[in-house]
Structure 1
Amino acid sequence: MAGIMSRRLDVDALRALVAIEKHGGVTRAAEVLGLSQSAVSHKMRRLEASLDCEILSRKPNAPLFTTAGHDLLGYARRILGIHDEAVLSLSKSTLQGKIALGMTEDTTCTDLSRILGRFRRLHPEVSVRTQVRMSLVLREQLSQGALDAAIVQLFQHEVRPADIVLYRETLHWVKSPDLVLSKEKPIPFLSFDENCFY
């Protein structure tokens, strides 16, 4: 029991761990965190030594994280969430004002409601007004200054330096095996309207 109690989870190392998962590797995580690649690798090695288990898989063509690493990621997100909430709630600065936030329909079904609820508890003096629109409409509203921030879909080449990439997804075109498509004719395609991202 004494051995377990003497182990510690370093908050900065946990933040680096989450960044590795979010950005797909040590190199990109180091860039985002403003650290050297060796510094991030050192944090991971210290974390592994502290827990006496392997967190990052170092075998070629293997997944980025070991089973223990995946388990730790779940704890890391929860620990960082409550850590950052405690720091914010105990800080002396009181935020006031209004935020206009745009989001797409698919992001309303995520953890966003929980995140906005936490933000509301921490900053009761801030009014958050949300709009649910298509990505192209939100991007236009952003450029016009009608929104302060928005969660939108972008193609990789459209991401600007000031943008924060929340997640990446691969686009796949699929069809029924029974559907025969002619190379000479247009492909039938159904979309919402001219503002549809696809």
Structure 2
Amino acid sequence: MTQAALSNAATPLLDTDVLRTFVAIAECGSFTRAARQVFRTPSALSMQIKRLEETLGQALFVREARQVRLTPEGEVLLGYGRRLLSLNEEAVTQFLAPKVAGRLGFGTTDDVGSRILPGVLAQFARSHPAVQVDVVVGSSREMLARLDAGELDLVLVTAGNPGQEARGEIVHSEPLVWVGREGGVAAQRSPLPVALAHQGCAWRGMALEALNRAGISFRIAYTCEHCAGQEAAMLADLAVSPFPQSLVRPPLRRIDPDQLPALGEYQLTLVKRTGLNQAGETLVGHVMAAFRHY
């Protein structure tokens, strides 16, 4: 027998069914809850994990009175397990799933694209490789108009824009905060220089209402349809701007909440056209899952 054959014979293979059990227990934090999820008894799950621990020569869970938690070795395996299960699903789908073709039009505002699109599009491409996705970036008003005109199939827009009716499903909510450059002086200037989107943007309305309510003197120093323009003004320390908390990255920083008035929460809404096909519903699912883990 060759050295390669000996090496292969000595390396155990991880069973997909056992990995699915392991991931379920890790995510549920309980053998009992995981057992209901995978339709087995807790004792059957316990035996599977015992064999898996013996195979790997490592304890994977710390068993406590009311829950179980991963050991450091279990945390490492969880990452591998999720990737292996995903790859297994991808391989099976490639051969068994119907070959869906066509195109989908997906509209989004520019603040969303950098956050979830790479992962969402990668997942969708694995399950629907023959479907062309046309991504359009623009204002919420423009995206909704193009959806209603039949040019787009689903759109992610900011909720609460002036004159915009409530539509779709809210998929994300987070604080809108005042942001400026780290070590900058724009926030100390009077009147306060602010960089805002054009009229009709919820961020603009929330910022102006907060400043007026607090009686703070300000001037609109810069306007731009896209948040990249506001970011440029902040990076140059020429203005401060309302920005989603999750988008704040060095050298930008959140301004002390005691220095400027609170802005409140901003929300993203997913709106889809009537009669969206199966491929479109799959893309919707990926988008919603991305925000649940964001």
TM-score (ref. length: structure 2): 0.41
Contact 2:24 2:34 (8 Å CA) reproduced = yes
Q: Which residue of 2 aligns with 1:190?
A: 263
Pick one of 102, 106, 115 that aligns with 1:109: 115
Return the alpha-carbon distance in structure 2 between the equivalents of residues 103 and 39 of structure 1: 46
CA RMSD across the alignment: 4.2
Out of 21, 27, 42, the position equivalent to 1:22 is 27
Assess if the C-alpha contact under 8 Å between 2:29 and 2:68 holds in 1.
no
- 8 A Cα contact 2:90 2:126, kept in partner: no
Q: CA deviation at 1:117?
A: 1.7
Aligned position for 1:87: 92
> What secondary structure sits across from 1:49 in the alignment?
helix
Query: Gaps spanning 5+ residues in structure 2: where?
Result: 1-5, 134-152, 174-255, 270-294
The 1:119–1:196 alpha-carbon spacing in structure 2 relative to 1, beyond 3 Å, is: closer
SS of the equivalent of 1:64 reads: strand
Higher mean alpha-carbon deviation, 36-45 vs 3-12, is at 3-12
Residues of 1 paired with 2:123 and 2:103: CA distance? 16
Match of 2:15 in 1: 10
Q: Report the Cα distance in structure 2 between the residues aligned to 1:28 and 1:102, rounded to whole angstroms.
A: 38
Q: What corresponds to 1:51 in structure 2?
A: 56
Identity percentage of aligned residues: 30
**Partner SS state of residue 132, structure 1:** strand
Matches of 1:89 and 1:190, distance apart in 2: 47
Q: Select which of 139, 156, 159 maps to 1:132.
A: 156
Deviations 1:129-173 (A, max 9, x none): 553246899x9515xxxxxxx8456xxxxxxxxxxxxxxxxxxxx
Q: Which moved more, 1:94-103 or 1:63-72?
A: 94-103
Structure with more relative contact order (C-alpha pairs < 8 Å, separation 6 or more): 2
Work out whether 1:35 is the aligned partner of 2:108. no
2: distance between equivalents of 1:141 and 1:22? 30
Looking at structure 1, the residues matched to 97 and 268 of structure 2 have their Cα atoms a distance apart, in angstroms, of 44
- Looking at structure 2, the residues matched to 126 and 51 of structure 1 have their Cα atoms a distance apart, in angstroms, of 41
| Contact 1:16/1:40 (8 A) holds in 2 | yes
CA–CA distance in structure 2, aligned partners of residues 125 and 3 of structure 1: 36
Q: Which of these residues, 69, 73, 81, is aligned with residue 64 of structure 1?
A: 69
Greater displacement, 4-13 / 73-82: 4-13
Q: Cα–Cα, structure 1 residues 192 and 61, in superposed 2: closer, same or farther, change >3 Å?
A: closer
Higher Rg of the two aligned structures: 2
Over 3 Å counting, the alpha-carbon distance change for 1:62 and 1:15 in structure 2 is closer
Which structure shows the higher strand fraction?
2
Does structure 2 retain, via aligned residues, the 8 Å contact 1:102–1:131? yes
Specify which of 141, 150, 156 is matched with residue 168 of structure 2: 141
Letter of the 1:132 counterpart? L
Give how far 1:11 is off.
0.8
Tell me how far 1:71 sits from its aligned partner. 0.9
- Is this contact kept in 2: 1:103–1:152, CA < 8 A? no
Go from structure 1 to structure 2 and tell me whether the alpha carbon gap of 1:130 and 1:35 turns closer, same or farther (over 3 Å shift): farther
- Residue 80 of structure 2: which of 63, 75, 98 is its match? 75
The SS at the match of 1:54 is: coil
Offset of residue 22 of structure 1: 2.5
- CA gap 1:101/1:59 in 2 versus in 1, 3 angstroms: farther
Q: Is the 8 A contact 1:103 1:151 kept in 2?
A: no
Corresponding letter in the other structure for 2:73: A
Is the 2:157–2:268 Cα contact (8 Å) retained in structure 1? Answer: no
Matches of 2:21 and 2:91, distance apart in 1: 19
Alpha-carbon distance in 1 for matches of 2:25, 2:113: 23
Aligned-partner residue type, residue 89 of structure 1: Q
Q: 1:172-191 counterparts in 2 under 5 A?
A: 190-191=263-264
Aligned partner of residue 31 in structure 1, secondary structure? helix
Count matched residues: 156
